[in-house]
Amino acid sequence: MTIYKALQIRNDINRETVNALVSLFSEAPISLTKNEKFFCVKYNPDIYLSNEKKISKLYRQKTFKPLIMTNYKFLALLVQLKKDHRIDTEYTDFYFSDTEYTETDDHLDLKEEIKQHIVENKLDFEDLINLLSDSSYNIKFVEFKPKNSTDYITIYASGNIKCSNPRGNVDLEIVLDVIEFLFTGRVTSYE
């Protein structure tokens, strides 16, 4: 299992600055990158916390944007994973944050209703958002498994991304495409 932080780097930032930024998150080099604009860096909490002030300064300077998930982004991702066959998955699920690893009947009913609407494309996206907003539940994470893979990818509300086995057969391009979608609402390799 490997945990990554997803970052969007400002266009005018040079590679040296990017390398310096990445070293603040982890001792490992950049593991994943797309168009030198979207990065997944291995995340080490101890190194991150020891560099928190430096990271905050670079963030305030708008050197980078971290991925922070919202219900809106989670639902957009779930819809995208269902409708876009270029990001081909055979398993997708999500969990609410206040369930403490056990889901109540209310959680399960709402979860099944959301899944049904996504699968059947019954509601427009705003209605889907309203359905979740009315419940006051927050999505904690989305988990999916690309087809022809034994590995799972989990995206947490904090923006952390977990790959169950990054040395396995997970297609890391899918991870980068999902990250680009979450930052921009589209994937350039598909246009």
Model confidence band, residue 58 (pLDDT cutoffs 50, 70, 90): very high
Judged against a pLDDT cut of 90, whether residue 31 lies above it is answered with: no
**Cβ-contact 157, 97 below 8 angstroms:** yes
Between CA 32 and CA 3 the distance in angstroms is 12
pLDDT tens, position by position, 166-181? 555 456 778 888 888 8
Average predicted confidence (pLDDT) for the chain: 81
Q: In sequence order, what are the beta bridge partners of 7?
A: 39, 66
Return the pLDDT at 8. Answer: 93
Using alpha carbons only, how large is the chain's radius of gyration in Å?
Answer: 17
Judged against a pLDDT cut of 70, whether residue 183 lies above it is answered with: yes
Q: Give the whole-number percent of the chain exceeding pLDDT 90.
A: 22
Looking at 43-138, which runs of residues are DSSP E strands?
Answer: 64-66, 89-96
Collapsing DSSP states into helix, strand and coil, what is residue 24?
coil
pLDDT tens, position by position, 104-122? 666 667 777 787 777 666 6
Model confidence band, residue 69 (pLDDT cutoffs 50, 70, 90): very high
What is the biggest distance separating any 2 CA atoms in the chain, rounded to whole angstroms? 52
Closest alpha carbon to 115 in 150, 87, 91, 86: 91
Model confidence band, residue 43 (pLDDT cutoffs 50, 70, 90): confident
**Cβ-contact 155, 169 below 8 angstroms:** no
How large is the average pLDDT for residues 40-51? 90
Output 33 or 184, whichever has higher pLDDT: 184
Q: 35: number of CA atoms within 13 Å, CB side?
A: 15
Return the pLDDT at 68. Answer: 92
Q: Is the pTM of this model over 0.85?
A: no
How large is the average pLDDT for residues 73-91? 78
